[in-house]
A and B are shown apart, each in its own frame.
Chain A
């Protein structure tokens, strides 16, 4: 499972990176998300075709922390991204994926901070369909209730 690769759930999901923050939008659900720090770095690697195992190795080399705990943290994060339908399992075999580059770290290796997915739901109502209509059988088109 850990060798599985992932891709962005396009076209339902769109993503952009500004500065060091990743913004992800789920166009069908009306949710949007923010990823910073290790979350942004892991998202970049996941959407570049890296497996969870490869990412966990890179993280363990870049940050201090228990490698097993890092691996589990990444697996939980990936599960959350999939549960939110931001990522889908890719058809790419693990051998085809890009190998992660060493992640940048300033000075001494910092402690690994668990990746966080910040979720915003305040605009979901924009996607609600107005239910105040009925179907006119003569024309087959919705018609406002009087």
Chain B
């Protein structure tokens, strides 16, 4: 049976409290560090209170950075701080201890304008005022943010906001050329990252290995890069020995995935996006050779939708419908990935040349 939260503070009131914390600190003379990024054609401004979150949030987005312009208001402004380094506490939590649900959703704290999520692990509060296009991100400490999260920062806020703009965050990798590419879909461990990273030594561009944006307004649909990070299970990084020196977190590979910020090392390999020619569903075969076989539309949807829906706060039927529409419009193929990794980009390139 559904249990409603006992909160007497509305989401709008709580957003105002959170924003007041940030604004008061600024009024009191705290330094704000502002960075701007172009995400799928929109300008997103990040306003950091203090410096502790800068190395946590900005590396994965660095390939999208643009010069800040005071004359052009950003499409979205995100205010960020951590309590430990700034001394600016979070307002008292208005919901009960047990109201934090999976995906970071808050029981009984839904609102048509104000979106709220609390992500355990990074201990991150994410809020978005959809009417004002202003978001708040605050955490107890930058040190609490796991390496995995640093590879795909601000996932919740950017997912909410881009959804309003008609874009869909998807749990997928993407590689291709300006003329077209493929979306690599499947749950964690299915071979998305291996397939995407195997393309770094080819002339295919790298858009994502974990999350990217689908733009269904385009025909054919386009994918947009959001993060330049690459994540690999620690035990799997040895498959790419040339990438080992690039790992950003060599000291915590025992507990976290290896994260590489490609913009720091191979910016020429990154692409902002491309038209999607096919959904590719990697399957690790253990055999040497790589080949593709046709898959059904529902195979593509089954590999794409659940892992996206079960991870992103606030997603539901509309997002599922959008992904189903995408799966109807774009053909799907199984990518039976072999152990000779050089064959993977070759097979993708051959497909794209014929698509």
Q: Which A residues fall within an 8 A CB radius of B?
A: 10-11, 14-16, 18-19, 21, 23, 25, 27-28, 30, 32, 34, 120, 122-123, 126-130, 132-133, 135-136, 139-144
For the complex, is B144 an interface residue (Cβ under 8 Å from A)?
A: yes
Asked if B90 is at the interface of the complex by the 8 Å CB criterion, the answer is yes
Residue B42 CB within 8 A of the other chain: no
Measured CB to CB, the nearest residue on chain B to A143 is: B140
By the criterion CB–CB under 8 Å, are A30 and B310 in contact? yes
Q: Which residues of chain A are within 8 angstroms of B315 by Cβ–Cβ distance? A: 27
A-B contact pairs, 6 of them (CB 8 A): A16-B301, A18-B296, A23-B302, A30-B310, A123-B187, A126-B311
Kindly identify which residue among A18, A123, A133, A143 contacts B307, using a CB–CB cutoff of 8 Å.
A123
A55 to B320: give the CA distance in the assembly, Å.
27
Contacts A18-B324, A128-B102 given; indicate if A143 touches B298 (C-beta within 8 A): no
From B83, which residue of chain A is reached at the shortest CB distance? A139
Stretch at the interface among B73-81, B92-100, B281-289: B92-100
| B305, CB-defined interface residue at 8 Å | yes
Residue numbers in A under 8 Å from B327 (CB-CB): 18
Contact residues in A for B101 (Cβ distance below 8 Å): 129
Q: A122 to B307: give the CA distance in the assembly, Å.
A: 10
Residues of A within 8 A of B144 (CB): 144
A-B CB proximity, top 10 nearest: A16-B324, A14-B317, A127-B102, A126-B310, A14-B320, A18-B298, A18-B297, A21-B298, A130-B120, A140-B93
- The B299-326 residues at the A interface (CB cut-off 8 A) are 301-302, 305-307, 309-311, 315-317, 320-321, 324
Rounded to whole Å, the gap between the CB of B254 and the closest CB of chain A is 16
Q: How far is the CA of A14 from the CA of B308 in the complex (A)?
A: 13
Distance from A55 Cβ to chain B, minimum over Cβ atoms (Å): 23
- Give B92 Cβ to nearest chain A Cβ, in Å: 5
Measured in the bound complex, the distance between the Cα atoms of B139 and A143 in whole Å is: 10
- Cα distance A10–B244 when bound, in Å? 46
Chain A residues whose CB sits within 8 angstroms of the CB of B92 once the complex forms: 139-140
B97 contacts across to A, CB distance below 8 A: 135
Neighbouring B residues of A129 by C-beta, 8 Å: 100-102, 120
- Rounded to whole angstroms, the CA-CA distance of A60 and B143 in the bound complex is 64
Q: How far is the CA of A42 from the CA of B248 in the complex (A)?
A: 52
Q: How far is the CA of A14 from the CA of B306 in the complex (A)?
A: 11
* A residues less than 8 Å from B120 (CB atoms): 129-130, 133, 142
Q: Is the CB–CB distance between A16 and B320 below 8 Å?
A: yes
Report the interface size for chain B: residues with CB under 8 A from the other chain. Answer: 36
Given contacts A10-B317, A11-B316, A19-B296, 18 further A-B contacts (CB under 8 A): A16-B301, A18-B298, A19-B297, A27-B310, A32-B305, A123-B306, A126-B307, A126-B311, A129-B120, A130-B121, A133-B120, A133-B121, A139-B83, A139-B89, A142-B120, A142-B123, A144-B121, A144-B140
Binding site for A on B (CB under 8 A): 83, 89-90, 92-93, 97, 100-103, 118, 120-121, 123, 140, 144, 187, 296-298, 301-302, 305-307, 309-311, 315-317, 320-321, 324, 327-328
Q: How far is the CB of A85 from chain B (nearest CB, A)?
A: 12
Cβ A120 vs Cβ B306 within 8 A: yes
For residue B102, which residue of chain A has the nearest CB? A127
What is the minimal beta-carbon distance from B209 to any residue of chain A, in angstroms?
Answer: 17
User: In the assembly, what is the distance between CA of A8 and CA of B163, in Å?
Assistant: 24
Q: In the assembled complex, which residues on chain A have CB atoms less than 8 Å from the CB atom of B89?
A: 139
Whether A25 and B90, one on each chain, are in contact in the complex, defined by CB atoms closer than 8 angstroms, is no
Question: Which residues from B are CB-within-8-Å of A136?
Answer: 140
Q: How far is the CB of A132 from chain B (nearest CB, A)?
A: 8
Contact A141 B93, CB 8 Å, known A10-B317, A14-B316: yes
Q: Nearest chain B CB to A96's CB is how many angstroms away? A: 23
Tell me the smallest distance from the CB of A12 to a CB of chain B, in Å: 9
A140 to B91 CA separation, bound complex (whole angstroms): 9
Closest approach, in angstroms, between the C-beta of B312 and any C-beta of chain A? 10
